[in-house]
Amino acid sequence: MDLYVLANVMVMLLLFTMLYKMQRNHVKFTRRVFVALGLGIGLGAVLQLVYGSDNASLQASIEYFDIAGRGYVQLLRMIIIPLVMVSIISAILKLKDGESLGKISALTIGILLVTVAIAGLIGLVVSHLFGLSAEGLVHGGREAERAAALLAREGTAGGISIANTLVEIIPANPFLDMTGARDTSIISVVIFSAFIGVAALGVNKKQPELTEKFDAFMQVAYAIVMRIVTLVLRLTPYGVLALMTKVLATSNFQDILNLFNFVLASYVALALMFGVHLLMISLVGGNPMTYIKKVWPVLTFAFTSRSSAATIPLNIQTQTRQLGVSDGVANFAASFGATIGQNGCAGIYPAMLVVMVAPVIGLDVMSLEFIATLIAVIVVGSFGVAGVGGGATFAALIVFSALGLPTEAIALIGLLISIEPLIDMGRTALNVNGAIATGFVTSRLLGQTDMEVFNGEQDLELDMESVS
């Protein structure tokens, strides 16, 4: 470790110490997350100015920062499967009937699909208004490599169908899915857990004494898992600081400036869709400003981590403890929202790329027939993206293949590689917000929302006495 790397690591450790002292002084969780975000932006910008994004000492420093950043994300992923299982089983045991489960599932999936359709329409209109086009983009070495990799995946994307996807999410081996081995593992675990819960309800009708024992066991399991979740979530400010520092320190600002119009159009579309989410909250009786205040920490983590799946634990905690959403709805919304109908990755991004490419080959992107076809493909394709790594790119490949765009057009996706991380942060935050908004709307429509919790002033971080 050279002196520059040692100095950078020492600065990071000093910032960690400051965050720890804030925790010891009982500074609110939300405020600590904001402070961590600001510190990460500041440190990352300084490192970028001092070293430049490709400096060897900076890259070595980032490897040490990743112990906290990527390590935190790994811990979150560790608790996803146990959390989903015990939460859904416990929630079904409280429902006491399968009809409520059906309503929750139908409403959750339905809202996610409607919002991804709206997101696709917004992406199309914004791209058209900004005059985005694939013509004139510079094709460099990294972009060529990315394009070649995308072309290799074209056959896989073209072979995806809604029928095949539905078959894939059925858990043939639930124990394999508990390891997260498949792309569709989360949804498969949700389905398996739902079967366990429904089966327990059936047993309760004939052997209630057995169900009482099982219910007691699940209460213990739920308490232990939620304790683990609480312990991991306390590390959020440290993870946000490390992740945000890495983003700023390694960004290529020249590439961002060269493609500034696309970056700006992307964030305008994301902001408009975020406004749609707030409108949904308003229509069911929620205060948008209260909602923003309470979901901002989880959106901050989603933005810095670029992982919808890793955000599931914080997503569920925010819905239940901050927004008053019932346990069952929160778990279904968070789990399905991380894999189906993602507004940013499966809605806005593919639509924007299609608008860039389609005019080059003579298609009228503003014709009603083309718009209807594109939105339908986006909605169906949002199922096909479930759990696939690099979801936004895969969603774009599916849409391009379904619309019959030429191979050369698909290769153009590789041209945006240099600004992909910056845009993906916003897309992930929108995906997560879509899941949270879906959970709140579903819970309100079913009359299961505790509005006293929603309107209350409690902080997300509870149960702090044992670590103070």
pLDDT: is 244 or 151 the higher one? Answer: 244
Q: Is the pLDDT of residue 288 over 60?
A: yes
Residue 139 lies in a domain: yes
Dihedral class, residue 52 (left if φ above 0, else alpha if ψ from -120 to 50, else beta): left
Tokens of 136: 């004139």
Does pLDDT of 400 surpass 70? Answer: yes
d(CA 269, CA 248): 22
Give the pLDDT of residue 387: 44
In a domain, 295, yes or no: yes
The predicted model gives 193-207 an average pLDDT of 87
In a domain? residue 35: no
Extract the tokens encoding 223: 């308490």
pLDDT at 143: 47
Q: 192: domain CATH number? A: 1.10.3860.10
- Checking if the pLDDT of 308 tops 90, the result is no
Residue 291 is part of which domain span?
A: 97-235+251-463
Which residue shows structure tokens 């290799």? Answer: 152
Q: Does residue 18 lie in a domain region?
A: no
pLDDT tens track for 8-29: 999 999 999 999 999 899 888 8
299 occurs within a structural domain: yes
Q: Model's pTM, two decimal places?
A: 0.78
User: Which of the four pLDDT bands, split at 50, 70 and 90, describes residue 248?
Assistant: confident
Residue 20, pLDDT score: 93
Instruction: Kindly state whether residue 135 falls inside one of the protein's structural domains.
Output: yes
Question: 3-state SS string over the chain?
Answer: CCHHHHHHHHHHHHHHHHHHHHHHCCCCHHHHHHHHHHHHHHHHHHHHHHHCCCCHHHHHHHHHHHHHHHHHHHHHHHHHHHHHHHHHHHHHHHHCCHHHHHHHHHHHHHHHHHHHHHHHHHHHHHHHHHCCCCCCCCCCHHHHHHHHHHHHHHHHHHCCCHHHHHHHCCCCCHHHHCCCCCCCHHHHHHHHHHHHHHHHHHHHHHCHHHHHHHHHHHHHHHHHHHHHHHHHHCCHHHHHHHHHHHHHHHCCHHHHHHCHHHHHHHHHHHHHHHHHHHHHHHHCCCCHHHHHHHHHHHHHHHHHHCCCCCCHHHHHHHHHHCCCCCHHHHHHHHHHHCCCCCHHHHHHHHHHHHHHHHHHHCCCCCCHHHHHHHHHHHHHHHHHCCCCCCHHHHHHHHHHHHHCCCHHHHHHHHHHHHHHHHHHHHHHHHHHHHHHHHHHHHHHHCCCCCHHHHHCCCCCCCCCHHHC
Burial letters for 140-173: b for 16+ Cβ neighbours within 10 Å, e otherwise? eeebeebbeebbeebeebeebeeeebeebbebee
Q: Is pLDDT above 90 for 423?
A: no
Return the number of other C-beta atoms located less than 10 Å from residue 14's C-beta: 9
Residues 6 or more apart in contact with residue 323 via CB below 8 angstroms:
286, 291, 294, 295, 436, 439, 440, 443, 449, 453, 454
Judge whether 357 lies within some domain: yes
Would you say residue 136 has pLDDT above 70?
A: no
Share of the chain above pLDDT 70, in %: 82
Highest mean pLDDT (candidates 89-93, 339-343, 347-351, 431-435): 431-435
Q: Which of 333, 377, 317 is closest to 351 using CA atoms?
A: 377
- More confident call, 421 vs 78: 78
Token representation of residue 442: 């579903």
Mean pLDDT (the chain, rounded): 82
**Vertex 17, ends 11 and 23: CA angle to 5°?**
145
State pLDDT tens for residues 355-375: 887 776 677 888 898 899 889
Number of domains in the chain: 1
Per-position b or e across 35-58, b if 16+ CB within 10 A of its CB: bbbebbbebbeebbeebebebebb
The one-letter amino acid code at 438 reads T
Tell which residue, 347, 307, 332, 299, has the closest CA to residue 441.
332
Does 44 fall in a domain?
no
Q: Is the pLDDT of residue 223 over 60?
A: yes
Q: What is the average per-residue pLDDT within 287-292?
A: 94
